[in-house]
Amino acid sequence: MNRFEYAMPSTVAEAVQLLGSNEEAKLLAGGQTLLPTMKQGLAAPELLIDLNGIAEVGQLTVLDDEIRVGAMCRHAAVAGSVAIREQAPGLAELAGMIGDAQVRNRGTLGGSVANNDPAADYPAALLALNATVRTDRREIGSDDFFAGLFETALEPGEVIREVSFPFCRQSAYVKFRNPASRFAMAGAFVAHHADGVRVAITGAGSDGVFRWFEAEEALNEDFGEEALTGLAVDPYLMLSDLHAGAQYRANLVAVMTRRSVKFAAARSEPE
């Protein structure tokens, strides 16, 4: 690892100011991605700005119609929240499926969505739940946030404060894990909102997370797994790597989505 300076601000404003002070500075959340890339020499920041001392981004707030998850909330906190399990069960189950206990106790929502790994789980929740990302300077809707493999709408120096997830009627997340890393080889998040269904697929698309609009259309007609009979994603738009070929991933997408619809449809709507 290269030598670097280290700072631990106590407010987001301070973090933004430090980030603007050095082009080679990087934010440190749980370090689950950043530290391994530094150890491998793939990243060499001159300044690490540790967000762990900022209380304002660690809150988890349940309002009347939405849940606000601070950027520094650990996956374990989201998985273990009784309020989230009641109001947004798909979100809690997704967080509980990330990695292993160590990863869930260090990894954060902000780090995961800023990184936008094509096999990460959270991007599917943001897209299906129609979430809003709040940064130090603006709000970004999830449809505008993810911009391809490891790319987001975040500008240089921008810090995620929190993500708000509106309540929906029913939701579920199902993924086919890579047996080694537990990242998704295909994951389907289905959210049944009062004004329509949203289906988001992670782990499979060659351009990262995406909405499966044909499935949404079919489920808007009839919210049940039978509505998906005969529907498939285009294998030419799927990832192909040593873990799984594109055709196999396309099949996984259909199977994971059907299962996710089945679980969501069986859930009673939150009061």
Binding site for ligand FAD (CB under 6 A): 26-34, 51, 71, 75, 98-99, 103, 106-108, 110-112, 114-115, 120-122, 159-160, 181-183
Which of 183, 263 has the CB closer to ligand FAD? 183
By C-beta, is 182 or 262 nearer to ligand FAD?
Answer: 182
CB of 21 to ligand FAD, least distance (A): 15
Contact 32, 100 (CB under 8 A): no
Task: Using alpha carbons, select from 93, 149, 84 the residue that is nearest to residue 116.
Answer: 149
Pick between residue 27 and residue 67 the one whose CB is nearest to ligand FAD: 27
> The tokens 């809707």 sit on which residue?
141
How does DSSP classify residue 170?
E
DSSP for 64-79 reads: SSEEEEETT-BHHHHH
Question: Whose Cβ is closer to ligand FAD: residue 165's or residue 183's?
Answer: 183
Give the DSSP H or E segment for 5: strand 5-7
Q: Shortest distance, CB of residue 36 to ligand FAD, whole angstroms?
A: 6
Question: Is the CB of 108 or the CB of 251 nearer to ligand FAD?
Answer: 108
Residue 40 or 229 having the CB closest to ligand FAD? 40
Min separation Cβ 167 and ligand FAD, Å: 22
Contact 235, 246 (CB under 8 A): yes
Helix, strand, coil abundance in the chain, percent, nearest 5 = 40, 25, 40
**Across the chain, how many H-helices and E-strands are there?**
11, 12
Q: How far is the CB of 268 from ligand FAD (least distance, A)?
A: 28
Distance in Å, CB of 133 to ligand FAD, minimum: 9
Structure-token match 């797994």, residue found = 225
Phi first, then psi: give them for residue 174, nearest 5 degrees.
-135, 135
For residues 79-97, one letter each, b for 16 or more C-beta atoms within 10 angstroms of the residue's C-beta and e for the rest, the string is bebeebeebbbbbbbbbbb
Residue with the shortest CB distance to ligand FAD? 111
Q: Decide whether 57 or 218 has the Cβ nearer to ligand FAD.
A: 57
Distance of closest approach, residue 222 Cβ to ligand FAD, in angstroms: 31
Residue 32 CB neighbour total at 10 angstroms: 20
* Minimum distance from residue 182 beta carbon to ligand FAD (Å): 4
